[in-house]
Amino acid sequence: MQPFLAIAGLVALIKRRELAVAVLRGARITWASPALLAMFGLEPKTATGKRFLDLVAADDREMLARVLDETPGAESPVTAFRGMRADGSLFDGELACSAFELPGGAGAVVTVNDVTEPRRALTRLSHFAFRDALTELPNRALYFDRLRQVLVDARRHGNAFAVLVADLDGFKEVNERFGHDTGDALLQVAAKRLRAASREGDTVARLGGDEFSVILTRTASAEDAAIVAGRMVHAFDAPVVVAGQSCRVGISIGIALYPANGKDMDSLVADADGAMYAAKRAGGKCFKLAGQSAA
- With a CB cutoff of 8 Å and minimum separation 6, the contacts of 171 are 183, 186, 187, 210, 249
Its pTM stands at 0.62
pLDDT interval class at 5 (50, 70, 90): very low
Spatial CB neighbours of 169, under 8 Å, sequence gap ≥ 6: 249, 250, 251, 252, 280, 284, 285
* Per-residue confidence (pLDDT) for residue 1, from 0 to 100: 35
Torsion, CA 12, CA 14, CA 17, CA 21, rounded to 10: -170
Secondary element (H or E) of residue 201: none
Mean pLDDT of the chain: 89
Cβ neighbours, 10 Å, residue 60: 20
pLDDT tier, 15 (very low <50, low <70, confident <90, very high otherwise): low
Q: Are 97 and 109 in contact (CB under 8 A)?
A: yes
pLDDT of 11 reads 54
- Structural domains in the chain, CATH included, are 2-119 (3.30.450.20), 130-289 (3.30.70.270)
Judge whether 271 counts as a catalytic residue: no
- Strand, helix or coil for residue 240: strand
pLDDT digits (tens, 9 = 90+) for 231-272: 999 999 999 888 788 889 999 999 999 999 999 999 999 999
Question: Of 60, 169, 210, 273, which residue is the catalytic one?
Answer: 210
Mean pLDDT calculated for residue range 201-206: 95
pLDDT at 294: 46
